[in-house]
Amino acid sequence: MLDLEVVPERSLGHEQWEFALGMPLAQAISILQKHCRIIKNVQVLYSEQMPLSHDLILNLTQDGMKLLFDACNQRLKVIEVYDLSKVKLKYCGVHFNTQAIAPTIEQIDQSFGATHPGVYNAAEQLFHLNFRGLSFSFQLDSWNEAPKYEPNFAHGLASLQIPHGATVKRMYIYTGNNLQDTKAPVMPLACFLGNVYAECVDVLKNGAGPLGLRLRILTAGCGPGVMADAKVRAVERNIYFGDSCQDVLSALGSPHKVFYKSEDKMKIHSPSPHKQVPSKCNDYFFNYFTLGVDILFDSTTHLVKKFVLHTNFPGHYNFNIYHRCDFKIPLVIKKALCSPDSLWCSCFLSRRSSSANNTNPFGSTFCFGLQRMIFEVMQNNHIASVTLYGAPRPSSRVRAEASAH
C-alpha cells in the first residue's frame, strides 16, 4: 500500500517520487513506468472522438487514484483519491488515513483544522469540505437527513450536526479555491530536470511555403551556484531550412536522441536521375522529445531539410514519445491559423493518401499535402503531426522578412 504525503495546491508524493500539479503527462507516465512493480494496473482514459473535450486521465486502479490532465496542454490539473481504503495518506508528516486511522470528519478536523463550514450537494448527497487547493467529500446516503448548519460556525467541523464518524469518500488536490474552475498551473521548477520545453512554436512562412521555426523556449535557469535564485527563463530561437547541424546545436542544445534513417520512402519523388542509387550514408534526425520537434539533416551537407511537429494525441501510434508541440501555422487558404487544437478541414487539402501502418492498433491515418507541408490526420479529424519541407537556407533578405513576421 502506497504511503503518500498530501501537499494542498501542490502535490501528492512518495519518498522516491511526486505527482505535482502542472507536471507534464509524459513525466507522470515515466514515474509509473519506473515504479511498475509497485504501481500496477494503470488505465489511460480519454475520449476517442473528442479528445479535447474531456480530461486525459491516468487511473491507478490498484491504488484508488486518478491523475487528471488538461486535454489541451497535457499538464496535471487535478489529483483525485477516490478509494481511501487503498492508500495511506499523511499531512505534514502525520497520518490521517491508514488501516488503523479512519479519515473521519473528526480526524480531518484534527489534521487540517477546519475554519469554515462545508457545502452540501443534495443531488449528489455529498458534503464537500473545501480548503484552498484541497477538498474532501463525505457520503451522506446512509444518513437519515441532510446535515443542519449552525449560523455561527466557530467550533470546528464537529459543531455541524453530522453523524459521528462519517468518513471521507473522495479527496481532491488542485490549484485555487474552486475545484470546478481550476486550471492546470504552469510547470513547476522541479519538473524541468535539466530539459528545455517549448511554450509555443511559430512556423515562419512566406507566400511559397515554410521557411523555418521560431521557438519560445522555457528553461529552469538559476544564478551562479544559487539554487534559491532558480526561476523559469524564456528565450526565443529561430531555426531555418538550410541551417547547419552546429547552428541547431547552438540554438537548441543537444537532442535527446539522434536517429539515422534506414530508408527514404520519398526518394521516388526526387527529380535527380541517380535517385535509385543507394547512399553510403543516411539522413539523420535530431529528436527533441520535450519540444515535440524532430529535425532532419541531409547526410551529405548536414543542413536542415525537414521539420516534424508532434501533437501527442492519445490514440496515435507515437503517443507519449513526444511532448505536445503548441505550434501555430498561418494558412493562406481562408486565412486560417492551424494549431494542435484545430480540426482538419477538407477545404484545406490538395492531396490525400492513406498511411499504411499494419502495426498500429488504432487504425490508419491520412496525409494531406499543402504548401510544402504534410498534415497527418487521425480518423477523428485531429492533427497528429505536421511535416515541413523547404528550400535550402534562405537569403539574408528572406530571413529578415521572416523575422519581421
- 25 and 75 in contact (C-beta within 8 Å)? yes
Residue 327: what are its φ and ψ, rounded to 5°?
-90, 160
Q: Look at residue 151 in the predicted model and tell me its pLDDT.
A: 40
109 phi and psi angles, rounded to 5 deg: -60, -40
- Residue 107 is placed in which grid cell? 480526524
The three cell numbers of residue 63 are 491504488
Confidence of residue 332 (pLDDT cuts 50, 70, 90): confident
DSSP 271-332: --TTTTSPPSS--EEEEETTTTEEEEE-TTT-BEEEEEEE---TTSTTTTTS----EEEEET
Is the model's pLDDT at 87 over the cut of 80?
yes
The percent of residues in the chain predicted with pLDDT above 90, rounded, is 63
Query: How many Å apart are CA 386 and CA 340, to the nearest integer?
Result: 10
* Parallel/antiparallel/unpaired status of strands 373-377 and 383-389: antiparallel
Estimate to the nearest angstrom the gap between the alpha carbon of 62 and the chain centroid: 23
In the sheet that holds 11-13, the strands lie side by side as: 18-20, 11-13, 2-7, 87-91, 94-97
Q: What is the pTM of this model?
A: 0.85
On the question of pLDDT at 225 being above 60, the answer is no
- 395: pLDDT strictly greater than 50: no
Binning pLDDT at 50, 70 and 90, where does residue 355 land? Answer: low
C-alpha span between 3 and 289 (Å, rounded): 32
Question: Tell me, what's the pLDDT at 159?
Answer: 41
Distance CA 133, CA 154 (A): 22
Give the residue with greater pLDDT, 117 vs 173. Answer: 173
